[in-house]
A and B are shown apart, each in its own frame.
Chain A
Amino acid sequence: MKIHNLSKEEVLKNLFTSENGLSEHDALSRLSEYGTNEIKETKKKPLYLKFLSQFTHFLALLLWFASALCFLSEYLHPGEGMLTLGIAIIVVIFINAIFSFIQEYKAEKALEALKKLLPFYVKVFREQREKEIYATDVVPGDIILLSEGDKVPADARLIESNDLKVNNASLTGESEPMLRSHEPFDGEFIRSPNIVFAGTSVTSGSGRAVVFATGMSTEFGRIAHLTSAVSSGLTPLQKEIIRTTRILATIAAAVGIFFFILGFLIGRDFWHNFIFAIGITVALIPEGLLPTMTLSLAMSSQRMAKRKALIKTLSSVETLGAVTVICTDKTGTLTQNKMTAVKIYFNKELVDVKDIKNGVADNLLKNAYLCNNSRFMEGQYKGDPTEIALLKLAKEKIGDLQAKRLKEFPFDPDRKRMTTVNFLEGKIKAFTKGATEGLLPLCNTFYFNGNKIPINESLKKSIIDACHIMMDKGLRVLAFAYKEIEETGDNALELKDIENNMTFAGLIGLEDPPRPEVADAIKKCKEAGIKIIMITGDSSRTAVAISREIGLIKGDPIIIEGYEFNRMSDKELIEKIRAEEIIFTRMTPKHKLRVVTLLKEEGEIVAVTGDGVNDAPALKKADIGLAMGISGTDVAKEASDIVLLDDNFATIVNAVEEGRTVFENIKKFITYIFASNIPEAVPYLAYILLKIPLPLTIIQILAVDLGTDMLPALALGAEKPSPYVMKQPPRRMKERLLDLPLILRSYLFLGPIEAAACMFGFFWVLYNGGWTWGIMLSPNNILYLQATTACLTAIIITQIGNVFACRSAKMSVFQIGFFSNRLIFAGIAVEILLQIFIVYHPIGNKVFATSPLDFKVWLTLIPFSIALLIADELRKFYVRKFN
Chain B
Amino acid sequence: MYRKILAAVNEFTNSELAARYALTLSQSCDAKLFLIFVAEEGIEKNTFKRAESALERLFIDAESRGIEVKSITEKGEPYKNIYDIVRKEHIDLVFTATRREDVTKRFFIKTIARELILKMPCSVAMVRIVRMGRIHPTNILVPLRGMMKDIEERAFFVGKLASGFNSKVTIFHCPEPLTDFFHGRIYLNPAVREKHIPGDIETFTEYLNKYVIINEKRTSYGTISKAITIEAAHKRNDLIIMGASERSLLKSIISGNPVEEVLKETPCDLIILKSKK
Q: Which residues of A contact B (CB under 8 A)?
A: 1-3, 14-16, 25, 29-30, 32-35, 42-43, 140-141, 155, 157, 212-213, 216-217, 221-222, 225-226, 229-231, 233-234, 239, 242-243, 246-247, 569-570, 574, 593-594, 601-603, 617
Contact = CB atoms under 8 A, between A and B. Distances in A.
A222 B184 contact: no
Interface stretch (B133-141, B203-211, B242-250): B133-141
Nearest to B216: A569
B13 A30 contact: yes
Interface string B213-252: 0001010001000100110011010000000000000000
Given A35-B100, A230-B230, A3 B135 contact: yes
Contacts of A1: 135-136
B12 interface: yes
B100 A34 contact: yes
Given A33-B12, A239-B183, A225 B134 contact: no
B133 A225 contact: no
Contact of B267 (A212, A222, A594, A617): A222
A16 B12 CA distance: 11
Instruction: Categorize the interface residue count of chain B.
Output: 35 or more
A212 B133 contact: yes
Contact of A213 (B131, B187, B230, B233): B131
Interface string B177-191: 000011110010110
A225 B135 contact: no
A624 B13 CA distance: 44
B161 to A, nearest CB: 16
Given A2-B134, A33-B99, A16 B13 contact: yes
Contact of A29 (B12, B222, B265): B12
Interface in B125-155: 129-136
Given A33-B100, A34-B100, A140 B181 contact: no
A15 B216 CA distance: 32
Tell me which of A29, A34, A574 has the highest count of chain B C-beta atoms within 10 A of its own C-beta: A34
Interface string B156-180: 0000000000000000000000000
A225 B136 contact: no
B222 A231 contact: yes
B255 interface: no
A641 to B, nearest CB: 19
Nearest to A247: B182
Contacts of B11: 29
B41 interface: no
Nearest to B46: A25
Tell me which of A140, A574, A602 has the highest count of chain B C-beta atoms within 10 A of its own C-beta: A140
A157 B133 contact: yes
Contacts of B129: 33-34
Given A32-B101, A140-B132, A216-B267, A42 B184 contact: no
Contacts of B52: none
Contacts of B261: 43
Contacts of A216: 130, 265, 267
Contact of A221 (B184, B189, B236, B267): B267
21 contacts: A1-B135, A1-B136, A2-B136, A3-B133, A15-B132, A15-B133, A16-B13, A30-B13, A33-B12, A34-B132, A43-B261, A140-B13, A141-B132, A157-B133, A221-B267, A222-B233, A225-B233, A226-B233, A229-B230, A234-B184, A247-B182
Contacts of B267: 216-217, 221-222, 225
B131 A212 contact: yes
Q: Which 8 A-B pairs have the closest CB atoms?
A: A212-B133, A35-B100, A3-B133, A225-B233, A140-B132, A217-B131, A217-B130, A32-B101
A246 B130 contact: no
B182 A16 contact: no
A33 B13 contact: yes
Given A2-B136, A601-B189, A42 B183 contact: no
B265 A16 contact: no
Nearest to B135: A1
B32 interface: no
B184 A225 contact: no
A2 B135 contact: yes
Given A16-B13, A33-B12, A229 B226 contact: yes
Contacts of A243: 182-184
B114 interface: no
Contacts of B182: 243, 246-247
B50 to A, nearest CB: 8
A213 to B, nearest CB: 5
B14 interface: yes
A569 B191 CA distance: 13
Nearest to A40: B265
Interface in B103-133: 129-133
A30 B230 CA distance: 26
Contacts of A140: 13, 131-133
A409 B142 CA distance: 40
A141 B264 CA distance: 22
B177 to A, nearest CB: 10
A3 B132 CA distance: 9
A16 B20 CA distance: 14
A162 to B, nearest CB: 23
Contacts of B226: 42, 229, 231
A33 B133 contact: no
A603 B133 contact: no
Contacts of A239: 183-184
B263 to A, nearest CB: 12
A225 B231 CA distance: 10
A395 B101 CA distance: 60
A626 B187 CA distance: 24
Contacts of B265: 42-43, 216, 225, 229
A587 to B, nearest CB: 16
A768 to B, nearest CB: 47
B92 interface: no
A34 B183 contact: no
Nearest to B218: A570
B201 to A, nearest CB: 17
Given A231-B222, A234-B184, A155 B133 contact: yes
B173 to A, nearest CB: 14
Contacts of B236: 222
Tell me which of B132, B182, B234 has the highest count of chain A C-beta atoms within 10 A of its own C-beta: B132
A559 to B, nearest CB: 24
B135 A14 contact: yes
Contacts of B189: 601-603
